[in-house]
Amino acid sequence: MIISFLNQKGGVGKTTISTNVAYALSQRGFKVLLVDSDPQHSASDWVSVRGDKELPFTVVGISNASLRQQIPRMQEQDGYDFVLIDGAPRMTDLSRAAIIVSDLIVMPMRPSGFDIWATEELKTLVEEARIFKPELMTAVCLNAVVNNTKLAKEVMADMEDNDWSFFETTITQRVAFSNASTQGLAVMELDSNSVATKEIENLTDEIVALKG
């Protein structure tokens, strides 16, 4: 299964979510490839910060549209169960290539009007791609949600009214994510019993279920 984590807006958590989900999948015995397609190389920087700590999945950088040809070839040759693409922050030819090659588009989004408007362009591109790939799946993942606020519920209700699909799991705003990322770690490496870890595990459950 090839999964792209995409959104036009930067700072929505694409790298945080993709690296943590990649780690969670690898801990379940899946062979995982994480493709860093962001010209800012955020996922690659995360690996560099990690240093000599063993990484249970493979990370490669492909920041050009050739990923459309390279990723299916790498998946077939090396037998990856999951290929995760950490996407660029703008809707470029690179993003379009990622959409076309993917089975699932995960759209990380903060619960704000600005993020909804930014995600609309991605939604349009996905709908265009479905002309050629009708089986393409998409879902919004609400990220950095502040607990005990009405905003996330209002955003989800608005998405439902406008025919959006979204994961049941929401990722809340927790210092554990920033603490882990600054050390090149997944949240479950810091504390396997934390709420942040549970949220990533729940999101991973949903993604595995979509693989079928």
pLDDT of residue 131: 87
Reply yes or no on whether the pLDDT at 199 is more than 90. Answer: yes
Mean pLDDT of 159-188: 86
Residue 117 has pLDDT above 70, yes or no: no
d(CA 108, CA 171): 9
State yes or no: pLDDT of 94 exceeds 60: yes
Q: How does residue 60 score in pLDDT terms, banded at 50, 70 and 90?
A: very high
Indicate if the pLDDT at residue 148 is higher than 60.
Answer: no
CB count in 10 Å sphere of residue 83: 26
Which band of pLDDT confidence, cut at 50, 70 and 90, is reported for residue 32? Answer: very high
Please name every residue paired with 108 in a beta bridge, in sequence order, or none if there are none.
Answer: 141
Among candidates 148, 140, 142, 157, which has minimal Cα distance to 199?
Answer: 142
Collect contacts of 208-212 with beta carbons under 8 A, ≥24 apart.
Answer: 208/25, 208/28, 210/1, 210/104, 210/137, 211/1, 211/82
Comparing C-alpha atoms, which of 181, 177, 184, 187 is closest to residue 47?
184
pLDDT at 155: 63
> 113 pLDDT exceeds 60?
yes
Give the residue, 145 or 182, on which the prediction is more confident.
Answer: 182
Q: In the predicted model, what is the mean pLDDT of residues 46-60?
A: 94
Q: What is the pLDDT of residue 167?
A: 92
Predicted local distance difference test score (pLDDT) of residue 125: 80
If you average pLDDT over every residue of the chain, what do you get? 87
More confident residue, 164 or 84: 84
pLDDT (mean) for 36-56: 92
